[in-house]
Amino acid sequence: MSLSSVFATGGIVTAPHHLAADAGRDVLRDGGNAVEAMIAMAAAIPVVYPHMNAIGGDSFWIVKPAGRAPLGIDACGAAAANATDDLYRAAGHDAIPTRGALAANTVAGTLSGWQTALDIAAQLGGQMSRKRLLEAAIHHAEQGFPATGNQARTTTAKLAELKGLPGYDRAFLPGGIPPAEGDLFRQERLGATLRRLAADGFGSFYDGALAQDIASDLARAGSPVSADDLAAHRALTLTPLSVELSSGTVWNMPPPTQGLASLMILGLFDRLGVKTVGDFTHIHGLVEATKQAFIIRNAHVQDPAAMDVDPANFLTAADLDARVGNINADAALPWPVPVKDGDTIWMGAIDAAGNAVSFIQSIYWEFGSGIVLEDTGILWQNRGASFSLQDGDVNRLAPGRRPFHTLNPAMAELSDGKILSYGTMGGEGQPQTQAQFFTRHVNFGQPIQPALDAPRFLLGRTWGDTGTNLKMESRFDSALVSTLAGAGHDVETIDAYSDLMGHAGAVSVRADGVMEGGSDPRADGKAAGV
């Protein structure tokens, strides 16, 4: 990966897999807008990065039409009507399983988000057909693509807990073994399903013949999600949360996402007055701001219908001014507190007119529930495994309730007129990776690609890991690591360019129309311009 950003004037995209980026770039090149480009990428990425996301998952969007305020799309599915305490107690569980049919207990909302986005695209002048937008995804599913090293490693690492689950081996273990890097990998049944979606509409996922096939597959696998649950689902269009910084305005999604935490970190760090990049004041300040934000997130963020406080209250100048006083500039707050898991992909797009999209799509853990639907080839998420069966938990399971989401796509409009779309995968690490990139790029002026390449830290656990300490990539200066440890941080050094640090990306457009983009060297993607 080059340390140079990609620059363009006719449109720009970024994705954690290069074939998904190509799909979006080609749509822009053919005259599509940023929302249409993102739909093409959203369809391609479950095919070519299938361990990280699927059409059987959820998604969130921030769409900022040029010169207008952004809007959010919440495409998060709720718990099934039959997902009750009695279901799990009768099966002998005092916690929701993380894999298998009982982990597949929420509706997959992402296709409803695609439909809502398609409607918005049309309002912005988009005219591309569903067939055109799904063209690349269908091609890669039916004709195959070379499996990435990331897919090969993840499949091997998770083999013991996923092998033998309904549909999993047929879909992800060709010849009975994990694919090797470079092996041709096909998903023919998923390709056929994408063809049906192109012909019948994205809404057919929830109502119609495809929906009935999905419901039958789910029932056969043992999932509580029914045809009625699918038919009842709707995506929501809403106003994103925002925080005012000295550098401009940043938006993120409201609960049930952890967007509040991402915005709080930036708001608190902005008040610390840090002047230098990559030193103790920078890293310690971000870590301590993260702790303060996570305390609030863990106490309050849940299905917004069950919340008794307005999350925007935590983003006011008065609240942030008061809360920053909890940060000791020289010493670490004792940690941990309970943490949140998650796994996903993030992608961004900007078109020649200046319309911008920040998009995130998830199956919760890598490979989700592990359940692959027999007739349709759809991998179903395990997002509902984040629910608790314990009374008093803010994320208590209840039929029709939406689960906590680590997903949070970010967008900013800076004081110089630049529009910045950015985000990452990585569960607990998402707000932290966002903050590290944002402060390097916006506060300290690093170009997008070097800011994405820079060494990163992670407080707490993320996908594939259970530790709750402060992990730092080995490229950090050893003297800095020692200073942080001396200030009370429980520091662990890990490999450089670790997947644990997320797969981030960003695209921007300046007031003069020049666009910049970058992609995380920890993934398999790229930024591509027109």
Per-residue pLDDT tens digits for 20-67: 999 999 999 999 999 999 999 999 999 999 999 999 999 999 999 999
The pLDDT value given to residue 427: 80
Is residue 397 a part of any domain in this protein?
no
- Same domain, yes or no, for 174 and 209? yes
- Same domain, yes or no, for 154 and 178? yes
Q: What percent of the chain has pLDDT over 90?
A: 92
Secondary structure string (H, E, C) spanning 465-497: CCCCCEEEECCCCHHHHHHHHHCCCCEEEECCC
Query: CA angle, corner 8, sides to 7 and 9, nearest 5?
Result: 145
- Same domain, yes or no, for 148 and 34? yes
Instruction: Provide CB contacts within 8 A for 356, sequence distance 6+.
Output: 34, 63, 64, 66, 348, 349, 350, 411, 419, 421, 507, 509
Is residue 4 a part of any domain in this protein?
no
- Same domain, yes or no, for 359 and 506? no
- Same domain, yes or no, for 331 and 232? no
Distance CA 149, CA 103 (A): 27
User: Which residue range(s) make up the domain with 421?
Assistant: 240-342+412-529
Is residue 400 a part of any domain in this protein?
no
Is residue 42 a part of any domain in this protein?
yes
Is residue 5 a part of any domain in this protein?
no
Give the total number of structural domains in the chain: 2
Is residue 1 a part of any domain in this protein?
no
Is residue 120 a part of any domain in this protein?
yes
pLDDT tens for each residue of 240-297: 999 999 999 999 999 999 999 999 999 999 999 999 999 999 999 999 999 999 999 9
The whole-chain average pLDDT of the chain stands at: 95
Q: Which letter does DSSP use for residue 411 in this model?
A: E
Where does the pLDDT of residue 198 fall: very low under 50, low under 70, confident under 90, or very high at 90 and above? very high
- Please give the C-alpha separations between residue 437 and each of 58, 130, 418, in angstroms, as whole numbers: 24, 34, 16
Rounded mean pLDDT of 193-202?
98
Contact criterion met (CB below 8 Å) for 252 and 262? yes
| Residue among 367, 1, 360, 344 at smallest CA distance from 151 | 367
- Same domain, yes or no, for 333 and 350? no
Contact criterion met (CB below 8 Å) for 58 and 77? yes
- Same domain, yes or no, for 29 and 124? yes
Half-sphere CA count of 98, side-chain side, radius 13 A: 11
Q: Which residues are catalytic?
A: 344
The pLDDT value given to residue 467: 64
Is residue 398 a part of any domain in this protein?
no
Q: Record the pTM.
A: 0.96
